[in-house]
Amino acid sequence: MTPFSRITGTGSYLPPRRVTNDDLARELAERGVETSDQWIVERTGIRARHFAAPDVGSSDLALHACRHALEAAGRSVGDVDLIIVATSTPDMIFPSSAAILQNKLGIAGCPAFDVQAVCSGFIYALTVADAMIKTGSARCALVVGAEVFSRILDFNDRTTCVLFGDGAGAVVLEASETPGILASDLHADGKHVGILCVPGSVSGGQVLGTPLLHMDGQAVFKLAVRVLEEAANATLAKAGKTAADIDWLIPHQANLRIMQGTARKLKLPAEKLVVTVHDHGNTSAASIPLALDVAVRGGQVRKGDMVMLEGVGGGFTWGAVLLTL
C-alpha cells in the first residue's frame, strides 16, 4: 500500500537579537533614512523582527529548529532519512545548507539538498518530501525553512529593509497509514523575475550586479493576492474539500494586508488566520513553518485540524498545501 505522509513534530528558532521598529528607525536615522513605527505598522503590520549575529548562518538556525521538531515528534537524528532545506540565503554557494545541516546533526548517508523557491520554498520542499515518502524513497524527513535575510537587505531603502527578518522553522514528516498531506499545488512564472529579486552574482571573486534585495511592492501585492487565492482553491479541489473545511489558514507571513486579503477571498473569518508577521517580519522560506510551530505550541492548531499552508515569492513562485495535522 502506498503510504501517506504526516507531520509528526514542529520546531522553530529565532536568533536572540530582537529589533523593534523603533530600534530600526534609530539605526536608519543614522544613515539619513527616515521611518517610524507608525509608518511600518500601517503598511505591513510588522512591529519587530529578529536579526542573526554575523557569524550565524542559515544552517545554524535550522539546527535549533530541527532539534525542537525531532523532540516534538519523539524521534532521534538516527531516524531521519531525508533532509530538505528551503533557503534563499545559504551558508555558502556550495555545498548545500542541507548538507552542512546534516553534518551538524551528526547524520550521514541520507539524501540532503536545498530547495530555492524564495518565500514559497517551504511549500515546495514539503511537496517534494511528501512525494518521496509516497514513493517509498524516504520514511522520516526533516523539512526546513531557514533564512538570514538581514544579509541581503539594502538599509538605505526603507520600503524593503523594514520588512524582513531571520529565523528557521522545521517539521518532521513521516510515512503514515492515515492521510496527513491531502493535496498540494505548485506554480512559477519567470516573467515576473524583476519584481522581486537579488540581481547579483559572483564571478572571478567579484560581485557582479547588486547583491541586495529589490522589490516592486505594488506589483508583488497585486500578484500575491490573486495567485494565493487560485492556489488555495486548486488545492481544495484536488482534495475534494471546500474553504469551509479549513480550520486554520497559515499563509506566508509577508504583509498583514496580503494575508487578510487572501482570507477574505476564501471567505474565512479573521479568527482562522494564523498571524506571526507582527513579531517576526517576513522570514521568507522560514515564515510558514515558524508560524505553524508557534500556532501548535500556543495551542491554536491541534491534532486533527485541517490546515491550509500557502506561499508566494520571487521567481515568481507560489503554491499551497492542505493537510490534516
Q: What is the mean pLDDT of residues 68-91?
A: 98
C-alpha cell at 153: 537587505
pLDDT at 301 over 70: yes
Percent of the chain predicted with pLDDT > 90: 99
Distance between CA 63 and CA 101 in Å, rounded?
Answer: 6
140 counts as catalytic: no
Q: Identify the active-site residue in 161, 252, 255, 280.
A: 252
Q: What is the mean pLDDT of residues 102-131?
A: 98
Q: What is the mean pLDDT of residues 57-62?
A: 98
In this structure, are residues 163 and 281 in contact, taking their beta carbons and an 8 Å threshold? yes
50 counts as catalytic: no
Going from the N-terminus, what domains does the chain have, and what CATH number goes with each? Answer: 4-176 (3.40.47.10), 181-324 (3.40.47.10)
Q: Would you place residue 26 in the very low, low, confident or very high pLDDT band (cuts 50, 70, 90)? A: very high
103 counts as catalytic: no
Distance between CA 85 and CA 234 in Å, rounded?
Answer: 25
Q: What pLDDT is recorded for position 1?
A: 65
Q: Would you place residue 3 in the very low, low, confident or very high pLDDT band (cuts 50, 70, 90)? A: confident
Q: Nearest-CA neighbor of 17 among 214, 240, 280?
A: 280
Q: Would you place residue 45 in the very low, low, confident or very high pLDDT band (cuts 50, 70, 90)? A: very high
Q: What is the mean pLDDT of residues 277-301?
A: 98
Q: Is 168 helix (H, G, I), strand (E, B) or coil?
A: strand
C-alpha cell at 277: 508577521
Write out pLDDT tens, residues 185-203. 999 999 999 999 999 999 9
Q: Identify the active-site residue in 50, 161, 280, 282.
A: 282
- Range list of β-strands (E), 140-253: 140-148, 166-176, 181-188, 196-197, 200-203, 206-209, 214-215, 248-251
Write out pLDDT tens, residues 147-174. 999 999 999 999 999 999 999 999 999 9
Q: Nearest-CA neighbor of 198 among 280, 287, 116, 100?
A: 116
pTM of the model: 0.97
Q: What pLDDT is recorded for position 198?
A: 97
In this structure, are residues 276 and 159 in contact, taking their beta carbons and an 8 Å threshold? no
Q: State the DSSP H helix or E strand holding residue 84, giving kind and residue range, or none if neither.
A: strand 82-86
pLDDT at 39 over 90: yes
* Mean pLDDT of the chain, nearest integer: 97
Q: Identify the active-site residue in 119, 140, 161, 197.
A: 119
- Range list of β-strands (E), 92-205: 112-115, 140-148, 166-176, 181-188, 196-197, 200-203
Q: What is the mean pLDDT of residues 258-278?
A: 95
